[in-house]
Amino acid sequence: MEGKKINRNGNLYTFIYATVLVVLVATLLALCATGLKPRQQQNIEAEAKQQILNTIGIQTTADEAQAAFERYVGERYAVSRSGAVNQQADAFYLNLKSELAKSEHEQQLPVFQATMPDGQRKYIVPVRGNGLWGEIWGYVALNDDLSTIYGIVFDHESETPGLGAEITAPAFCKQFEGKTIFEGAQLTSVAVVKGGAHPDDPHAVDAISGGTITSNGVQDMLQRSLERYSAYFSSIREQQARAAMAADTLAAADSLLQPAIEPGAMSNQH
Amino acid sequence: MDSIVQIFFDSMFIKNMVFSYFLGMCSYLAVSKTVKTATGLGIAVVFVMGITVPVNYLLNRYVLSEGALAWLSPDFAGMDLGFLSFIIFIAVIASIVQLVEMVVEKFAPALYSSLGIFLPLIAVNCAILGASLFMQKADYQTLGQATAYGLGSGLGWFVAIVCIAAIREKMKYSDVPKPLRGLGIAFLLTGLLGFAFMAFTGFKL
Amino acid sequence: MSEAKGKQSWFGAAHRKLLAEPIGIKNPVTVLVLGICSALAVTAKLQPAVVMAVSVTAVTAVSNLVLSLLRRTIPNRIRIIVQLIIVAALVTVVSEVLKAFAYDVSKQLSVFVGLIITNCIIMGRIEAFALGNGPWASFIDGIGNGLGYGMILVIVAFFRELLGSGTLWGYRVIPEGLYAANGGFYENNGLVIMPPMALIFVGAIIWIQRKRNKNLMEE
């Protein structure tokens, strides 16, 4: 190609040169991209699995995430906005973002059910919203009562390091543990309060100082995302309440000698 | 998704290309010695960004992103040409700059004589490619939103360069420590302006 | 064309100079004002800054090498586009490799990897050096300029992470016990984390460099 006689300004030369270059470069890139694709995909999946496992307090490396995920998170299905369960769908491969772009009655929302080593059941749902600079998302693990938060993780696209980006810090996420998202039958979600939440408030945590907009984003994201599941959550909670009530009535009938159930007991079952 | 007005405002003031992402700094520092040239380059940037961002949006939506080729035939639904984005975006920018140059030269010679020298500079202005990449990342739903983003970012850049040029003109009369003159003080000033622009953060229309 | 340089031994004085100058008195960032664009947004933490520095060095060196090899064949009219396409291809490779092998960092760098394409250092060195010099000299020049750029990035990131988060490379340097929250007196400087602070740091570096080397001062 060290051509001394070729006219480097000729149309034909320019055209052939451009074509050869484009074809070469495109082939090279296609090879590179397809070769690395499985690994990239694996990275993305491993990260999501690690995050889901994190919500139930299990820390794994990217390599072990797959096995651990299969072990703990056995049931994965989708629910609709009205609470109907679709067992056919694998929640892990549902893309929440593209589901949310669909119309409300077509949305399939992912639900993960994890079984803890001690046999307890946790429900894990993904949440998604907007922070200051870009998207934020995360996973919320709920206890069997579908109200108490067992664990939570957040991640973000491009929040300010040291400020909004602190939503991923364990110190921030830890606050959510033990908070409840239902008050009676009413969904309250969890508020993120600037200037500090009252420590006894079961529905509020402290915001990040200097990260007000990201904190508000988290609050919004939880409120909206959990609301989408509220029909499903409520239906299970009602079933549980009925079962509990039935058990209570049975127990009451069984032990005729015992005094009547005190009035508060029923709502404590929630 | 935010309204078009909000996106426009956001991209112009809050997510300002210069003050929060430091994009297009090379030409920003090199061409900001006088307000006149700064205005020229600024207008050229608004122009080119306003065109390239929507064009790249369409390309991204119908060619590059995963499953984007489904409109051609269902067989292509699984194709992901995302790895070609960088090349396509930069090629589009380079050719549009060339095209704009030719069109302006032919139909508006007066504009060309004032803008002409800046246009070739623009192909390698990071702010232009940056706008396309941020647009791709932000995943706008409509062409209108993408256009608003492109124009807003361009105007934001325009505001930034005119601001700094005005300050630098005044700086000639100030007693700046010798080693800090020129480049050094320009950096510090940009930093301070950046802090000022942070006041817009979180502003909702 | 200074082809004579190419006839020297591979690590001759001329080549060593090519490597050393950009790190000092011909620093691309603080002296030649190139490549600030994609640089500063990644300097809030040390790790992404180092990865960015390595990526830019690799792309500058390889693109200089490739274009120096091709320099006699490129049609004049499409010169800039050919340069851009080759650089864009290399950057795509870097980006795909990062996504596969350094996923965490690639997320932090996000669009700034793509912006390496328009990093003026790369185009600047291709135009100013690679098109007129032999492949090996161009390669060395690319490495030198990449390192000179990386050095500024790392210095800025070092101070921003240390002062802003009290950590380095993600590891805690300032003991927890010193923090006001734990009964100490120390607070992280939140201001340092803010994007504009990167500019102020670079301004300060320029100040110090020009104070020590009067030749670089501007009128």
Chain A interface mutation, best of B15, B83, B136, B141, highest count of A Cβ atoms under 10 Å = B83
Compute the distance between CA of residue A138 and CA of residue B1 in angstroms, rounded to an integer: 19
pLDDT value at residue B182? 81
Q: Which residue of C has its CA nearest to B17?
A: C37
Query: Which stretch of A110-114, A239-243, B74-78, B161-165 has the lowest confidence by average pLDDT?
Result: B74-78
Pairing status of strand A75-79 against strand A186-187: unpaired
What percent of chain A clears pLDDT 70, i.e. is strictly above it? 90
Q: Which residues of B touch C199 (CB under 8 A)?
A: 22, 187-188, 190-191, 194
Burial code of A115-153, b = ≥16 C-beta within 10 A, e = fewer? eeeeeeebbbbbbebbbbbbbbbbbbbbbeebbbbbbbb
Decide if A160 contacts A211 (C-beta within 8 A).
yes
Residues of A in contact with B11 (CB under 8 A): none
Q: Which residues of C touch B126 (CB under 8 A)?
A: 37-38, 115, 118-120
pLDDT of residue A267: 47
Comparing CB atoms, the residue among A21, A29, A160 nearest residue C82 is A21
pLDDT at C125: 87
CA angle A110, A112, A116 (to 5 degrees): 170
* Residue of C36, C81, C209 best to disrupt the B interface, most CBs of B under 10 A: C36
Q: Which residues of C touch A2 (CB under 8 A)?
A: 72-73
Interval A63-98: pLDDT, tens = 888 888 888 888 888 898 888 888 888 888 888 888
Confidence (pLDDT) at B200? 84
Neighbours of C76 (CB within 10 A): 8
Distance to chain C for A6, nearest Cα, Å: 9
Q: Tokens in use for B131?
A: 């706008």
The answer to whether residue C7 sits within a structural domain is no
pLDDT for the residue numbered C1: 38
A105 has a pLDDT exceeding 80: yes
DSSP strands (E only) in C107-192: 167-168, 171-172
DSSP B32: -
Q: Does C73 sit within 8 Å of A28, measured CB to CB?
A: no
Is the pLDDT reported for residue A270 higher than 50? no
What contacts B178, CB < 8 A, 6 or more positions away? C210, C217
Q: State whether residue C186 is helix, strand or coil.
A: strand
pLDDT band at A211 (very low <50, low <70, confident <90, very high): confident
Question: Taking a C-beta distance cutoff of 8 angstroms, is the pair C198, C43 a contact?
Answer: yes
Give me the phi and psi of B106, to 5 degrees please: -75, -45
Distance from CA of B170 to the nearest CA of A (A): 33
Give bridge partners of residue A127 from the DSSP assignment. A138
Q: Is B141 helix (H, G, I), strand (E, B) or coil?
A: coil
Chains sharing 3 or more CB pairs under 8 A with chain B: A, C
Instruction: Please give the average per-residue pLDDT across A229-253, as a whole number.
Output: 85
Interface-testing mutation among B86, B88, B101, B163, with chain C (most C C-beta atoms within 10 A): B86
Put simply, the answer to whether A29 touches B15 (Cβ < 8 Å) is no
Using DSSP bridges, classify how beta strands A191-193 and C167-168 pair: parallel, antiparallel or unpaired. unpaired
Judge whether C177 lies within some domain.
yes
Instruction: Determine the pLDDT at residue A131.
Output: 84
- Are A236 and A139 a contacting pair, CB within 8 Å? no
- Residue in the structure block whose two tokens are 């864009």: C88
Using pLDDT thresholds of 50, 70 and 90, give the confidence band for residue A199: confident
Q: Which of A93, A102, A133 to mutate to test the interface with B (most CBs of B within 10 A)?
A: A133
Domain boundaries, chain A: 48-244
Q: With an 8 Å Cβ cutoff, is B87 touching chain A? A: yes
The pLDDT of A36-44, averaged and rounded, is: 90
Which of B26, B95, B191 is nearest residue C196 as measured by Cβ atoms? B191
User: Do C96 and A39 lie within an 8 Å CB cutoff?
Assistant: no
Q: State how many domains chain C has.
A: 1
Chains that touch C (3 or more CB pairs under 8 A): A, B
| Contact between residue C193 and residue C164 where contact means Cβ atoms under 8 Å apart | yes
Choose the closest CB to C76 out of A1, A9, A44.
A9
Helix C195-212 and helix C135-165: axis angle, to 10°? 120
Domain assignment of residue C94, yes or no: yes
If you write DSSP's letter for every residue of chain A in order, what string do you get? ---SSS-TT-HHHHHHHHHHHHHHHHHHHHHHHHHHHHHHHHHHHHHHHHHHHHHTT----HHHHHHHHHHH--EEEEE-TT--EETTS-GGG--HHHHHTS-GGG--EEEEEEE-TTS-EEEEEEEEEE-SSSEEEEEEEE-TTSSBEEEEEEEESSPPTTTGGGGGSHHHHHTTTT-BSEETTEE---EEETT---TT-TTEEEPPTT-HHHHHHHHHHHHHHHHHHHHHHHHHHHHHHHHHHHHHHHHHHH-TTSPPPPTTHHHHT-
Nearest by CB to B83, which of A33, A132, A213? A33
C-chain residues within 8 Å CB-CB of B25? 36-37, 40
Q: What is the pLDDT of residue B58?
A: 93
Check: CB of residue B39 under 8 Å from CB of residue B45: no
Residues of chain C contacting residue A49, judged by C-beta atoms under 8 Å apart: none
pTM score, whole prediction = 0.82
Q: Look at A213 and B87 and tell me if their CB atoms are within 8 Å.
A: no
pLDDT at B160: 93
Residue A101: pLDDT band with limits 50, 70, 90: confident
Residues in chain B with CB shorter than 8 Å from the CB of C84 are 90-91, 94, 123-124
**Which of residues C151 and A254 earns the better pLDDT score?**
C151
> Residue A257 has what pLDDT?
55
Do B128 and B50 meet the contact criterion of CB atoms below 8 Å apart? no
Q: Examine residue C30 and state whether it is found in any structural domain, yes or no.
A: no
Q: Which residues pair with A192 in a beta bridge?
A: A205
B120 contacts in C (CB within 8 Å)? 80
* Beta bridge mates, A156: A136
Query: C145 is in which domain, residue-wise?
Result: 39-213
Q: Which of C68, C73, C98 to mutate to test the interface with A (most CBs of A within 10 A)?
A: C73
Per-residue pLDDT of chain B (205 residues; tens, 9 = 90+): 568 898 898 889 888 888 888 888 878 887 888 888 888 888 888 988 999 999 999 999 888 887 777 777 777 777 778 888 888 898 898 888 888 888 888 887 877 776 666 777 777 788 898 899 989 888 888 899 999 999 999 999 999 999 999 999 998 888 888 888 888 898 899 999 998 988 887 777 6
Residue C162 is assigned to a structural domain of this protein: yes
The pLDDT tens digits along chain C (219 residues) read 344 444 456 667 777 777 777 777 777 777 777 777 666 778 888 888 999 899 999 999 999 999 999 988 888 878 888 888 899 999 999 999 999 988 888 887 877 888 888 887 888 888 888 988 899 999 999 999 999 888 888 999 999 989 988 888 878 888 888 887 777 788 888 788 888 888 899 889 888 888 888 777 765
Q: Which of B137, B138, B201 sits opposite A132 (nearest CB)?
A: B201
Residues of chain C in contact with residue B96, where contact means CB-CB under 8 angstroms, are: none
